[in-house]
Structure 1
Amino acid sequence: MSNKNLIQIREFCLYHEIENTFITELHNYGLIKIIIQEEDEYLEPEQLPAVEKMIRLHYDLKINLEGIDAIAHLLNRIELLQQNLIASQNKLRLYEEKTEELN
């Protein structure tokens, strides 16, 4: 993977004025994935919205890492439930359309 698309953690932390250890702790909790290339640590661009949300939770709302872990788990669960609901609604719509065609 080319590091052209990756975000260097050191630069990211400087930009957001946070400690590098916070990103390391997020990784240790399994909340994000750190990519190591040529002795530098990087984040994938897809992770940025989630990481920035976790930064706000921790620094602005003073939520500890255990709380962030719980919140992230619940948000992922909600997203999965929403996807299941949409899939069920689509199936129901199909069923209703077929029933209407038969009548």
Structure 2
Amino acid sequence: MTERISIEDIIRLYKIDYSFVDQLIDSELLHPEIENSVRYIIYEELPHLERFANWHYDLDVNLPGIEIIHQLLNQLEDLKTENRRLLGHVTKFESWEDADF
């Protein structure tokens, strides 16, 4: 079983609003697990929750803004991955071009 924390504990520890967590879940930015009518967030999603809470409470970013920023950061990561993959192909091609036959 994956490590997880109840949403009630998250609200108490992080001092965030229950409605904010519900909005993140409704927007599919967080994906809770449910067991015995208790909702849990897996530990792997906690960095996302912390980031969203910081944007919302510290920078006053609303939920649509959080969704857009999150989407853009994911796209940026995808582009970085694709760039590394393409650079790997270029490096292989340059090595092949320099080979003596």
Query: Shorter-chain TM-score category?
Result: over 0.9
Alpha-carbon separation, structure 1, partners of 2:14 and 2:24: 15
Q: Quick one: which of 93, 96, 99 aligns to 1:95? A: 93
After alignment, is 14-23 or 59-68 more displaced? 14-23
After alignment, is 43-52 or 59-68 more displaced? 43-52
**Aligned-pair CA distance for 1:84:** 0.4
Query: Residue 55 of structure 1 aligns with which residue?
Result: 53
Gaps of 5+ in 1: none
Alpha-carbon separation, structure 1, partners of 2:98 and 2:44: 43
Q: Structure 1: which amino acid aligns with 2:100?
A: L
Alpha-carbon separation, structure 1, partners of 2:35 and 2:19: 18
Equivalent positions of 1:24-35 (< 5 A) are: 24-35=22-33
Q: Structure 2: which amino acid aligns with 1:101?
A: A
The two structures have a TM-score, normalised by structure 1, of 0.91
* TM-align CA RMSD: 1.3
Aligned pair count reads 101
**Aligned-pair CA distance for 1:96:** 1.1
Alpha-carbon separation, structure 1, partners of 2:24 and 2:39: 13
Equivalent positions of 1:6-21 (< 5 A) are: 6-21=4-19
Q: Structure 2: which amino acid aligns with 1:79?
A: E
**Aligned-pair CA distance for 1:78:** 0.5
Q: Which runs of 4+ in 1 moved over 3 A?
A: none
